Structure 1
Amino acid sequence: MSTPPAQPGHPAAPPRGFGGRCPAATPLYGPQLDGDGLPALYEELRRTHGPVAPVTVAPGIDAWLVLGHRELLQLTRDEQDFSHDPRRWSLMREGRVPADSSILPMVGWRPALLFADGQQHRRMRAAVSDALAGINGHELRRTVRATAEQLIASFAGRREADLVPHYARKLPMQVITGLLGLDQRTGQQLVQAIAGTVVANADSANASNRMGVILQALIEEKRSSPGSDITSALLRHPARLTDEEVLHNLVVMFVAGNQTTVNWIATTLRILLCDPAFRSSLTGGHLTVDDALDLVLWRFPPTQNFPARYATRDLSFGGQDIRAGDMLVLGLAAANADPAVLPADGSPVVGNRSHLAFGGGPHTCPAQDPARLITRTAVDTIRHRLPDLELAVPEADLAWIKSPWSKGLAALPVRFTEPHLPSVPPSGESS
């Protein structure tokens, strides 16, 4: 969908895609991207183009951003017209995606459920869903609470902390790597390797190799000595996933589950710290922590935009002429803010989970229940252990990370006076 450069003596070829009408595509990347300004950008795109808008997701890489709630549901439910398989992407097939493109680590094909359709997707999803369903909820809650209390104790003596790096970022990583069957040290190495893989720089290949070595060693260990972890559950599932399929599905589960949960925890805490009325209603029992979690999923979904679907044929969709092979990006945050489904006055959405924060259709995130349990327990624990928690800076100074994909806080500095810590050092045992 991007435009080939003009050759000397020849006019530039008209942009392919966009139905020949050549609408101006809006960049959805770059250092100028401001998380606070993105909602206004989505509404401007909606006013200008309707529920489906032309954007660029990296230099020279055009795509369609699906903004409408109804259209996004259609996109996620219809695998006949909209495939997950990036090998259908026309730009990729035509060799027009640079090897160092920042979009490539997110959309390059791998043998994982995120990039499959139909029977192949159902086969891998069955294994992943069953592995997640085997998580003991009571044990997970105890593990999250113990991990949360250890982290709180590590900074309690200072009477201040930045809850993004010191709490929200550490807690899911420690819990999820444990669920995969990794020890904390190896889990931290995996986090660093995955982070290096997705940034698309000169070290990405080395980081990818390190990631593969760590996960392959884990798979070999669990084949010989299976346990009660997710990796072992995937290996013994009747779907008979290959080692390569297990490896790449573990990467998908970790990357999607970890960063989403980090953002969900931090943003929920921001709402509780910055909205006195909501915090009062929560303390008084009129609202629950789950209500706060749902408010975040509606207003500040941890994943803003998600790549991608690929049109399998030429079709009209959302008022645009889509060509076979075009990329369509799931505008989760924009669809949640669609005036057709969300009150425009900013009032809380309570008791309504028709948001699209976890996607929709057959590819709806299979990990949303454990993610909710981790987030709810993390928020509940810090509320009870640090009851007088308050922001250490003006609310206006809080900023989002600059990313078109992830909706996360850059920092959340807080202060408190008397932490209510357990009388004995926290452990994995219930108290």
Structure 2
Amino acid sequence: MPPPSGPPRGRSRLLGRCPAVALYGPELDGDSLPALYEQLRRVHGPVAPVMIAPGVSAWLVIGHREVLRLTREEQDFSHDPRHWTLLREGRVPPDSPLLPIVGWRPALLYTDGQQHRRMRTAVSDALAAIDGHALRRTVRASAEALIVSFADRREADLVPHYARRLSLQVLTGLLGLDDRNGQLLAQAIMGVIVTNADSINASGRMDSILRELIKEKRRRPTGDLTSALLNHPANLTEDEVLHNLVVMFVAGHQTTVNWITTTLRVLICDPGFRSSVSIGHLSVDDALDLVLWRYPPTQNVPARYATRDLELGGRHIRAGDMLVLGLAGANQDPEVLPEGGTPVVGNRSHLSFGAGPHMCPAQDPARLITRTAVDTIQHRLPELELAVPESELAWVRSPWSKGLAALPVRFAKPQLPHAPEHREPSAQAQES
């Protein structure tokens, strides 16, 4: 679709008058950002002016009610970055590390209305066709093989040695990639997400790997997500298949790593919660939901773009302004939390999967993968404990992702599977 017509609009008047806080830089990590969100809430309310890169302004929406409006009202808040004033006016450099994340792609994440519904139907149908029982067996087998690979050492870092390798093996298998190209794809995607000077090159490497995959699956379709998208009645173009695969991998890989490791941290570091899960008073799903409330694997999501001048959270938003979904901030909005600030068990009104027409279509397989990963390690390593003080655990430095940089643990004799029926991770996966 062409860029919106009409004269270019400047930034919101309030965005020019209010001091905008930098939402980038190495000093921002999982430890400092929750306090920043609360400071922004006190000073600015549910919608706060921020800078997401030098010279690039946006609104960070951290009110629960306001995020719901942002996600549900497509007529006022578009996914299409071609509405973005700064981009239309040439004020975002073409080599900006933000563009691999917010630049337009022919994928469901960047479209609205009928075009979005057509692509979402194809993606949702492909995901719905996944055999849950087979996926659970695959995850458990991969998880047990990984545990076997480090069991003799009686210690491991569960971020690179377990969660990252497990997520990579499972997701690349679902896409139909082999281990080597799956590893290369994961490296390229991480290069895009970190938003640095190499992000543009990483985006090119990512596209190249997926184009080769698409060619192969056109020649020899199998029961994977790529083949399902290529053969769906929605008749997606090759570019649409490629970029929807990018969205699925980006949305699935690091968030799964974060969800697994943060849940394990909660279970290791909170003996009371772990005991309640062990004796059946609480379930692993309760632990998963606690993490989604307190430590959502994706804490901020770019972006929506105002299609007209309007009011949101007491702020005057101009047509063409960018709005960032502050999921972590919205989950801690005092207006939706019960007294004491802790969600009740079974409450899934968090916004970690988004809301509205663009709510994540992969919630069920994501939960199945994460639950199985946590269940398996709890069963095989029942005496798991941290190898460092909890205060030394650090979060990844990113304004977008919320995950542990490392989770070093030690354990007593593991409860290993009796038969050597689970394949070892490939050499490429071991290098991650």
Counterparts in 2 of 1:167 and 1:18: CA distance versus 1, 3 Å:
farther
2:205 and 2:32 mapped to 1: Cα distance? 36
Q: How far apart, in 2, do the equivalents of 1:351 and 1:144 lie? A: 25
Would you say 1:87 and 2:118 are equivalent positions? no
CA distance in 2, matches of 1:104, 1:20: 21
1:19 and 1:323 in contact (8 A); partners too:
no
Q: Percent identity?
A: 74
SS of residue in 1 equivalent to 2:52: strand
Q: Return the letter of the residue paired with 1:368.
A: Q
Mapping for residues 206-245 of structure 1, pairs under 5 Å: 206-245=201-240
Distance in 2, Cα, partners of 1:115 & 1:20: 24
Among 352, 364, 383, the alignment partner of 1:357 is 352
* CA distance, structure 2, for counterparts of residue 353 and residue 68 of structure 1: 17
Asked if the contact 2:101/2:192 (under 8 Å) is kept, the reply is no
Deviation at 1:65, TM superposition (A): 0.5
> Where does residue 245 of structure 2 map in the other structure?
250
Structure 2 residue 134 is the aligned partner of structure 1 residue 139: yes
Query: Gapped runs of 5+ residues in structure 1?
Result: 1-14
Q: Which SS does the other structure have where 1:169 is aligned?
A: helix
Task: Give TM-score, length-normalised by structure 1.
Answer: 0.93
For 1:346 and 1:146, locate their aligned partners in 2 and report how far apart those are by CA, in whole Å: 38
Task: Please name the residue that 2:413 is paired with.
Answer: 418
Alignment of 1:86-125 (within 5 A): 86-125=81-120
Note the C-alpha offset of 1:32. Answer: 1.3
**Which residue does the alignment assign to 2:275?**
280
**Structure 2 CA distance for aligned equivalents of residues 374 and 18 of structure 1:** 45
The 3-state SS of whatever aligns with 2:17 is coil
| Match in the other structure for 1:160 | 155
Q: Tell me how far apart the structure 2 counterparts of residues 199 and 47 of structure 1 sit (CA, whole Å).
A: 29
The structure 2 residue matched to 1:316, chosen from 300, 306, 311, is 311
The alignment of Structure 1 onto Structure 2 pairs a total of residues equal to 414
Contact 2:100–2:200 under 8 Å retained in 1: no
1:340 corresponds to which letter in structure 2?
E
- Distance in 1 separating the partners of 2:58 and 2:206: 29
Equivalent residue number for residue 184 of structure 2: 189
SS in 2 for 1:122: helix
- 2:171 maps to 176
Cα distance change of structure 1 residues 200 and 284 upon mapping to structure 2, 3 Å threshold = closer
Deviations 1:266-305 (A, max 9, x none): 0000000000110010011000000000000001000000
2: CA distance, partners of 1:299 / 1:203? 32
Match of 1:342 in 2: 337
8 Å contact kept, 1:145–1:381: yes
CA offsets 1:308-341 (integer angstroms, 9 cap, x no match): 0000001111100000000000000000000111
Residues 294 and 349, structure 1, Cα contact 8 Å, conserved in 2: no
Deviation of 1:204 (Å): 3.9
- CA deviations on 1:133-178 (whole Å, 9 max, x unpaired) are 0000000000000000011011000000010110111111110000
Q: Is the 8 A contact 2:97 2:197 kept in 1?
A: no
Counterpart residue number, 2:394: 399
Check the 8 A contact 1:56/1:62 in 2, yes or no: yes
Q: Is the 8 A contact 1:18 1:54 kept in 2?
A: no
TM-score between both structures, scaled by the size of structure 2 = 0.93
Superposed CA RMSD:
1.4
In structure 2, how many angstroms separate the alpha carbons of the residues matched to 1:426 and 1:335? 45
SS in 2 for 1:57: strand
CA contact (8 A) 1:149 1:426 kept: no
Q: Residues 303 and 268 from structure 1, CA distance in 2 versus in 1: closer, same or farther, beyond 3 angstroms?
A: same
